[in-house]
């Protein structure tokens, strides 16, 4: 289960390459689909543990998520994980989605409550016949399909709706008790937040891997707005690194790669041996960062 092995003394090479996974969103247009498949083709030889495909707010990408997942399953050697939320659907509908995935061979679901139907910051309301919590969703999946592996979310800075860390970790514990075997964290930029959160989670007796979610910031301004709304703090030192680069995409890219590579290398030195990358459907930065972690393309991979 370890995603953390004992830290390597400062300056020493991290002994083995970490395990990685990649997150994509389902493409909206033909052009975006072409670009996603170029990304998948580039990243597949890095042999990720799995790649996951998000589920649009309120289920808005239900079919697109399904077709992306099915194509990954049919055309690559990579194991896909389908994200799924409880929002805006009755249990029966959600159960059907899961069964459809199971029928085509999907064996990994990232089970989420989802954002409030009115958008982040509005009160969360459940569907009257729906799964009321993410833990109920995990339970529903595991009871009907014990062979499906279920991953869930975790929040190193606590979820914005959580009153405190204890309440937040109660929810994580409920998801684990319901059968989740991996948590992937919300993006964070301050490694200490993750390491402190890990201590809190372990102190509660939760021993599943808590895989850090890493986001290389291709477009700092856009990404900052997005992650801040989801409760991630953006440290001043990070904003300063992108200062003055609004019109210089090339330098921004180099800075983004350097920052994210520094973050994962520091975590690796602390013994973290599994990373989940929010790719934004782009390969370049993630490929470079994986390279710096010691991950090299492997033989001929079936990919697109």
Catalytic positions are 23
Stretches 28-36, 73-81, 105-113, 250-258: which one binds ligand FAD (CB under 6 A)? 105-113
Residue 77: what are its φ and ψ, rounded to 5°?
-95, 5
Residue 83 within binding range of ligand FAD, rule CB under 6 A: yes
Residue 16 CB, shortest distance to ligand FAD, in Å, is 25
Q: Binder to ligand FAD among 76, 153, 232, 274 (CB under 6 A)?
A: 153
Residue 131 within binding range of ligand FAD, rule CB under 6 A: no
Q: Binder to ligand FAD among 114, 156, 179, 212 (CB under 6 A)?
A: 114
For residue 278, give the nearest of 264, 292, 266, 293 by alpha carbon. Answer: 264
Q: Binder to ligand FAD among 168, 197, 214, 289 (CB under 6 A)?
A: 168
Question: Of the two residues 46 and 112, which places its CB atom closer to ligand FAD in the complex?
Answer: 112
**Sites for ligand FAD among residues 39-78 (CB under 6 A):** 54-55, 57
Q: Binder to ligand FAD among 21, 134, 263, 290 (CB under 6 A)?
A: 134
Can you give the binding site for ligand FAD, defined by CB under 6 A?
54-55, 57, 83, 85, 110, 112-115, 124, 133-134, 153, 159, 161-162, 167-168, 171, 184, 186, 213
């Amino acid at each position: 289960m370890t995603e953390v092995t004992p830290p390597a003394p400062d300056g020493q090479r991290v002994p083995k390459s970490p395990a990685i996974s990649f997150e994509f969103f389902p493409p909206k247009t033909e052009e975006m689909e072409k670009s996603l498949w170029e990304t998948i083709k580039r990243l597949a030889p890095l042999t990720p543990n799995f790649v996951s495909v998000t589920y649009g707010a309120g289920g808005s990408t239900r079919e697109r998520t399904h077709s992306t997942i099915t194509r990954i399953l049919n055309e690559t050697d990579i194991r896909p994980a389908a994200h799924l939320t409880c929002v805006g659907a009755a249990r029966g509908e959600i159960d059907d989605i899961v069964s459809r995935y199971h029928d085509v061979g999907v064996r990994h679901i990232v089970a989420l409550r989802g954002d409030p139907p009115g958008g982040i910051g509005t009160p969360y309301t459940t569907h009257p016949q729906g799964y009321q919590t993410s833990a109920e969703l995990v339970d529903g999946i595991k009871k009907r399909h014990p062979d499906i592996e279920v991953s869930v979310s975790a929040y190193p800075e606590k979820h914005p709706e959580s009153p405190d860390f204890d309440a937040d970790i109660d929810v994580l514990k409920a998801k684990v008790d319901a059968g989740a075997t991996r948590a992937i964290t919300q993006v964070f930029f301050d490694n200490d937040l993750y390491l402190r959160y890990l201590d809190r989670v372990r102190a509660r007796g939760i021993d599943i891997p808590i895989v850090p979610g890493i986001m290389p910031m291709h477009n700092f301004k856009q990404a900052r707005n997005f992650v801040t709304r989801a409760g991630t703090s953006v440290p001043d030192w990070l904003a300063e690194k992108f200062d003055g680069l609004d019109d210089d995409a090339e330098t921004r890219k180099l800075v983004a790669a350097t920052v994210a590579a520094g973050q994962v290398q520091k975590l690796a030195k602390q013994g973290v041996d599994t990373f989940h990358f929010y790719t934004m459907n782009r390969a370049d930065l993630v490929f470079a960062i994986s390279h710096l972690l010691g991950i090299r393309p492997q033989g001929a991979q079936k990919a697109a």
